[in-house]
Chains A and B, each alone.
Chain A
Amino acid sequence: MSALSVVTSTARGPSWRRSRRGTQSHPLWFLVPALAILVVFFFVPTLFNFVYAFTDWSSFKSQINFAGADNFVQLLSNGSLLADLRITLVYAVLVALFQNLFGLILALVLERDTRVNRFARAAFFVPVVMSALAVGYIFQALLKPQGLLNGALSAISGQHVTTAWLGDTTWTIVVVAVIHAWKWMGLSMLIYLAGLKTISEDVIEAARIDGAGWWGTFRSIRWPLLAPAITFNVATALLGSMNGFDVVQATTQGGPGGTTELLNIFVFRTFGQGLFAQATTMSLMLFLMVAVLAFPVIRILRKREEVL
């Protein structure tokens, strides 16, 4: 403890007295319980990931032996490693795109403070409060070949539409991303609304007097000033949906043909089969992907804020 105060006294010089008092008035033991929980239940399992991914841990063996890179080789050679990484990344990008598009449109439509808009904003927050699993089941029913959506499309087009929305090996990943975005768009909307509120009426009024139309004021004034809201929304949607599970499990369970198999779906499935080491390996891949992407994503978005 005295070593710490020595460090500050040399670094800060004049504030020596203050920092010495600081050690007594803000005791370090206040940190201990929270850090203990973080270390034991967050960091230790994460370190375990790096260890058990290199073993043959499974429910079929009583002992756990070192297995080198066997799990990685196996997951690479059967193609699931790269396929699931790619699917997870595509899913995350699509979710970030749709969630922000829907959220921004809702915010722009519901911007003014009227009674109807206040009701609509609250209504769009309902899916955010609901369980993602429940949302998944609702959409599974809506998107059945004889479901409501196809019924509505048939009525509009006059033809009998029987699209299998959740059974297409190319497009179902887009559909499940839209469902995920539907669940969270109310949150993005709220954050965009808060961002729009920070823009002063005078600036927009001035632009309008200069002859700028709705699109002109949006593009040159409101869009750039929304940058902090965009940073927050894109980063949380992108990084959050990489850890996605519920919506996909409730709608496709990774199918058809594994084309919506997110990393977490694989982890859950192989864990259920007792292949713990393979599940751990995929869990480690998810950790590495998020860790590698998190810092550049946040930095790029922050930099964009500064430029504007």
Chain B
Amino acid sequence: MNVTTSALRRRRVRPVQPIAAILLVIVLLGVPFAMVIITAGKTQGEALTPNLSLPSSWHFIQNFARVFDEGRILPAFFGSILIMVPSVAIVLILGSMASWILARRKTRGVSFIYALAISGIVLPPAVVTIVLLLRQLGLAGTAIGMICVYAGMYMSTVIFFVTGFIRTIPPELEEAARIDGASPFRVFTRVILPLLSPTLATATILICLYIWNDVFYALFVVGGRLDTLPLNLYQVASSGLYLQNWNLIFAYIILMSLPLLITFVVLQRKIISGITSGAVK
């Protein structure tokens, strides 16, 4: 009974639904992205008003070369890596350590600290006074200052994800190692940390996405001092005062999006299941 009705339904739905899905993809995504790719292959004159008409001849190589040269995309790429990798490493390691204690200790003081620690998920960082603080610490305009700011901003996210996950791990697993005489540090690194890998993977993806694409905080902290991909895109786009050089802007956008896009395509399934598992409970 069940099988026949659902089989019938499937046959009826089949021709309409895939067409609707493909149309949605073409109209909502295909058109903008086609415009970006076509315009990135045009000369500045042809790219004045970006559209879908093909260029008289393709100029991808010249435009990408100019982006490497004028947009300083290589220094920007390494600048972004230089800031993202340490920030993510710091929040993951220190955040997991704190989460273990916050999940296992059940005193009132600890739950107060937990509430305070996760408040940063919704509360916006104080972007102006953070610059003042960095000046006082001698870190203004430096990569270390930027890393510290990102670490402070995303620590809450890690603590929230990881504490929730550790609470679902039975304490007996630690107990066994502890009876064998393992120190807290060993229990954490040998028992807890390996179990955290799925949550840490999700947190890594989310935080990488935020830091890689952030321009707001970067403008305040390291704007004009360091190259990062979004900062240089902002410069490329703001430099043409009267006429925007869309061919260069879009060539830049293609190149800067590639690293995350390739990562996403390769790890698609893991990323999607990781992000959805945390949200709906």
Residues of A within 8 A of B (CB): 4, 7-8, 19, 22, 24-28, 30-31, 33-35, 37-38, 40-42, 44-46, 48-49, 52, 57, 106, 109-110, 112, 114, 116-117, 119-134, 137-139, 141-142, 144, 146-148, 151, 182, 187, 190-191, 193-195, 198, 205, 208-209, 228-229, 232, 239, 242-243, 245-246, 249-250, 264, 267-268, 271, 276, 279-280, 283-284, 286-287, 290-291, 294
State the main secondary structure of chain A at its contact with B: helix
Q: Would you call B220 and A271 a contact (CB within 8 A)?
A: yes
Q: Would you call A138 and B253 a contact (CB within 8 A)?
A: yes
Return chain A residues, CB-CB under 8 Å to B95. Answer: 34
Residues of B within 8 A of A (CB): 2, 5-6, 13, 17-18, 20-22, 24-25, 28-29, 31-33, 35-36, 39, 49-52, 90, 94-95, 97-98, 100-102, 104-109, 113, 117, 120, 122-133, 148-149, 151-153, 155-156, 159, 174, 178, 184, 187-188, 209, 212-213, 215-216, 219-220, 229-230, 233-234, 237, 246, 249-250, 253, 256-257, 260-261, 264-265, 268, 272, 275-277, 279-281
Return chain A residues, CB-CB under 8 Å to B277. Answer: 194
CA–CA, A56 and B64, complex, Å: 46
Q: Would you call A123 and B122 a contact (CB within 8 A)?
A: no
Known: A26-B184, A45-B126. A148 touches B94 (CB 8 A): no
Q: Kindly name the residue among B20, B51, B281 whose own CB sees the greatest number of chain A CB atoms within 10 A.
A: B51
Q: Would you call A141 and B50 a contact (CB within 8 A)?
A: yes
Q: Would you call B257 and A134 a contact (CB within 8 A)?
A: yes
Q: Would you call B101 and A28 a contact (CB within 8 A)?
A: yes
Top-10 shortest CB links A-B: A41-B152, A48-B129, A34-B98, A194-B276, A45-B126, A131-B213, A42-B152, A34-B94, A45-B130, A141-B50
Return chain A residues, CB-CB under 8 Å to B216. Answer: 245-246, 264, 268
CA–CA, A28 and B24, complex, Å: 53
Which of B17, B21, B51 touches A151 (beta carbons < 8 Å)?
A: B51
Q: Would you call B133 and A44 a contact (CB within 8 A)?
A: yes
Known: A35-B113, A106-B24, A109-B21. A40 touches B51 (CB 8 A): no
Return chain A residues, CB-CB under 8 Å to B132. Answer: 45, 48, 52, 57, 276
Q: Would you call A268 and B219 a contact (CB within 8 A)?
A: yes
Which of A30, A134, A193, A228 touches B253 (beta carbons < 8 Å)?
A: A134
Known: A41-B148, A44-B133, A250-B237. A30 touches B127 (CB 8 A): no
Q: Would you call B5 and A41 a contact (CB within 8 A)?
A: no
Can you list 18 A-B pairs, Cβ within 8 angstroms, ordered by A?
A: A4-B107, A19-B107, A22-B104, A26-B100, A30-B184, A37-B151, A37-B155, A41-B149, A112-B17, A120-B22, A120-B25, A131-B212, A131-B229, A131-B230, A134-B256, A138-B36, A267-B128, A271-B220
Q: Would you call A45 and B125 a contact (CB within 8 A)?
A: yes
Known: A30-B101, A190-B272, A267-B127. A141 touches B35 (CB 8 A): yes
CA–CA, A131 and B125, complex, Å: 20
